[in-house]
Amino acid sequence: MIAEAGGIPGATVAWKASAGRRIVFIGHPNVGKTTLYNRLTGMRAHTANYPGTTVEVRTARTRCGGLELEWVDLPGLYGIEGGNPDEQVALAYLREAAADPGVQVVMVVDARYLRRSLALAAHIREMVPEMVLVLNRVDLARREDVGIAPEALARELEVEVFTLSARTGEGLERLKRYLMKPCGSRPESQRLKDGWSLNACGGGCGQCPYAARHTWASELCQKTLSRRVPGEGMRRSDRWDVWLTHPLWGLLVFAGVMTMLFQALFRLAAWPMEGIEWLFARLAGGLAAVMPEGLWAAFLTDGVIAGMGGVLVFLPQIAILFLLLSLLEDTGYLARATLMMDRWMKRVGLPGKAFIPMVSAHACAIPAIMSTRTIADRRDRLVTIMVLPLLSCSARIPVYVMVTAMIFPDRPGMAGLVFTGAYALGIVAAFMVALLLGKSVLPGKPEALLLELPDYQWPTLSTALLAMYDRSWLFLKRAGTIILGISVVLWALASFPELEKDDLPPAVLQELEVVDEAELEPMLMREQLSQSYLGRLGHAAQPLFEPLGFDWKITVGVLASFAAREVVASTLAILHGMGEDGVEDSGGLARRMRETLPAPVGLSLLVFFVLALQCLPTVVLVARETKSWAWALCQLMVMTAMAYTAAWLVYRLALVLVEL
């Protein structure tokens, strides 16, 4: 049933029945559910994939007086229809949990906006054996003069009702004490009232459960709530929305917020990234100093440590991006940004909800692809996934820096312009591909926008920090293992067969004799790489890249970077006889390359890197997310063909311009 509805085959609950209890948190999006969950579990929680899906569910285990508790934070959901993969997982989980007597469901609602949550509460109350209702944000409700009668509500619903504020901690202790009581010590859940049944309908529509529930919830609210006019929170948000969703002012604010986001992203991440590079260089250096020289030392320093550094160096940007995005989401602004962008994205056949993944893709396509799971429609989700890797991720930046510095060494203004151009090319290409996909293999219009705009509020730092921690950890687990593996394989390809002095051509031997001591090592490294398996592959494949102006060295770099882009700078550094230290000084590498490479080749290389899908982890992830290798391989081939054609065009054009 679930598999049919949303394509989650084999989704089952990863819970082995034990003597313990499960406390499951559920609720609408934007009711402060995760803040409450974090408040109760803190750093003990960890995020794991729901089996068979890429939807993440947070779980935490605690012990309390011999009782084992498992705390589960399900994704937010609006109804029991299961729209997007998030909602489907929450529902699948609830349905399975219903059969387990040790399950306690905690339904979290916003105390100010009780009515619309009550309908969902009613549905869930029917599904599960035990439920308590938590009225969150009671502090805001008080400030907005909303009177709630929790006792009356408890009586009517026949559930325990808790009023609290997850933000301030008010009322938290009572809920905690209740949840930690052993199951047997609480009264059995009572028989459901007739009014809860899905079939009963009083809304004038015989077959629709919602109208009936809505009427029932309205009546219940009239008995238990003392306000029926829009509260201060609503009115304040309405006033903000006049400006923030305005066709002109809204767009200006949006441009400002995005500029600030990216500025913060690149500026703040620069220091920790330098720190990580320094640390791993020291680590490799230290290890090389204490270990006897040989294959093992080379494997550990150049293969493993360099690979780990290659993964960790991207962590600061991913962490900072998700910290900032989470803070923005918490304020309520991201929903408005989605609304503002919907109009423009729709023109190229992308849904408004693709906007946040597209922002994330500028740090890394992997978390961006994972975040498309908020898109319910399969066509919309596929189009989004197909275009995300075209956006310039942080792994491309070293290449952009290197190439622009190479072409315009004395004109930082022009270098900056070309750098920006590379970014713009990625965005334009993404929109064009979306448009073409919509006109060919993925026809249809994006789903109509239907988006809740939550009240504006101050963000919670702890929630954002936990989101950052979650995302970073997932990136390390997912991309980290693959990138590390690739680094080791690349190292092996570049290190074997080992260089024998007798194998060197006489010309090189002569050259070796005349160079001074400092130049000797880089030269040997270059020769090693040149005659390694990777080097031979580069020589063999070079004719293929000849039309783009690539020599065998760049070809080796490009081939190596198909596994993971970031290795191109270090590969080129070695090939141009600079040793690996060239990576740390891409300007130095650029100077060296400029001597051997003309500007048209540089531009061609730049365009190739903007458009090519040189990232094996992304291909693997796309195959998993779309559940089809066909889509993943198709994406790889189309992007490669695009990159090749565009690079060829740019190379030819640049050659003509140079001659002029």
Residues that bind other proteins (CB under 8 A): 78-81, 83, 112-116, 119-120, 203-208, 210-211, 213-215, 227-231, 234, 237-238, 241-242, 245, 247, 335, 339, 342-343, 376, 448-455
Separation of alpha carbons 368 and 615, rounded Å: 14
Separation of alpha carbons 20 and 529, rounded Å: 58
Residue nearer to other proteins on the CB measure, 125 or 576: 125
Task: State the minimum distance, in angstroms, from the CB of residue 645 to other proteins.
Answer: 35
Q: Give long-range contacts, CB 8 A cutoff, 24+ apart: 5-9.
A: 5/82, 5/88, 6/82, 6/84, 6/85, 6/88, 7/85, 7/378, 7/627, 8/52, 8/53, 8/85, 8/88, 8/89, 8/92, 9/52, 9/627
Q: Which two tokens stand for residue 181?
A: 């009581």
Sheet architecture: strand order including 56-64: 46-49, 56-64, 67-73, 21-27, 103-110, 131-136, 160-163
Residue nearer to other proteins on the CB measure, 80 or 560: 80
Separation of alpha carbons 480 and 473, rounded Å: 9
**How many other β-carbons are positioned within 10 Å of the β-carbon of residue 401?**
17
Task: State the minimum distance, in angstroms, from the CB of residue 339 to other proteins.
Answer: 5
Task: State the minimum distance, in angstroms, from the CB of residue 104 to other proteins.
Answer: 24
Q: What are phi and psi of 276, to 5 degrees?
A: -65, -40
Residue nearer to other proteins on the CB measure, 452 or 503: 452
Residue nearer to other proteins on the CB measure, 158 or 232: 232
DSSP type of residue 225: B
Residue nearer to other proteins on the CB measure, 120 or 647: 120
Separation of alpha carbons 175 and 172, rounded Å: 5
443 by DSSP, 3-state: which? coil
| Residue pair 218/136 in contact by the 8 Å Cβ criterion | no
Strand partners, 64: 67
Task: State the minimum distance, in angstroms, from the CB of residue 450 to other proteins.
Answer: 6
Q: What are phi and psi of 163, to 5 degrees?
A: -105, 130
Task: State the minimum distance, in angstroms, from the CB of residue 449 to other proteins.
Answer: 4
Distances (CA, A) of 561 to 59, 375, 394, 556: 37, 31, 14, 8
Task: State the minimum distance, in angstroms, from the CB of residue 247 to other proteins.
Answer: 5
The helix or strand, by DSSP H or E, that contains position 121, with its residue range, turns out to be helix 114-127
Q: Are strands 103-110 and 21-27 parallel, antiparallel or unpaired?
A: parallel
Least Cα distance to 321 among 458, 466, 471 occurs for 471
Q: Are strands 103-110 and 131-136 parallel, antiparallel or unpaired?
A: parallel
| Residue pair 85/8 in contact by the 8 Å Cβ criterion | yes
* Site of tokens 């006049």: 242
Separation of alpha carbons 217 and 126, rounded Å: 15
Residue nearer to other proteins on the CB measure, 171 or 454: 454
Residue nearer to other proteins on the CB measure, 248 or 289: 248
Burial label for 264, CB within 10 Å (0-12, 13-18, 19+), is middle
Task: State the minimum distance, in angstroms, from the CB of residue 203 to other proteins.
Answer: 6
CA-CA-CA-CA dihedral for 428, 433, 439, 445, to nearest 10: -80
Task: State the minimum distance, in angstroms, from the CB of residue 128 to other proteins.
Answer: 18
Residue nearer to other proteins on the CB measure, 446 or 538: 446
User: Rounded to the nearest 10 degrees, what angle do helices 412-439 and 629-659 cross at?
Assistant: 140
Separation of alpha carbons 216 and 196, rounded Å: 9
Residue nearer to other proteins on the CB measure, 185 or 207: 207
DSSP 313-340: TTHHHHHHHHHHHHHHHHHTHHHHHHHH
Separation of alpha carbons 532 and 538, rounded Å: 10
Task: State the minimum distance, in angstroms, from the CB of residue 643 to other proteins.
Answer: 34
Residue nearer to other proteins on the CB measure, 127 or 234: 234
Residue nearer to other proteins on the CB measure, 160 or 455: 455
Residue nearer to other proteins on the CB measure, 111 or 483: 111
Task: State the minimum distance, in angstroms, from the CB of residue 195 to other proteins.
Answer: 17
Radius of gyration of the chain (CA): 29
Q: Which two tokens stand for residue 599?
A: 């500007």
Task: State the minimum distance, in angstroms, from the CB of residue 78 to other proteins.
Answer: 4
Task: State the minimum distance, in angstroms, from the CB of residue 253 to other proteins.
Answer: 14
Task: State the minimum distance, in angstroms, from the CB of residue 467 to other proteins.
Answer: 23
Residue nearer to other proteins on the CB measure, 86 or 566: 86
Task: State the minimum distance, in angstroms, from the CB of residue 174 to other proteins.
Answer: 26
Residue nearer to other proteins on the CB measure, 220 or 390: 220
Residue nearer to other proteins on the CB measure, 230 or 505: 230
Task: State the minimum distance, in angstroms, from the CB of residue 115 to other proteins.
Answer: 5
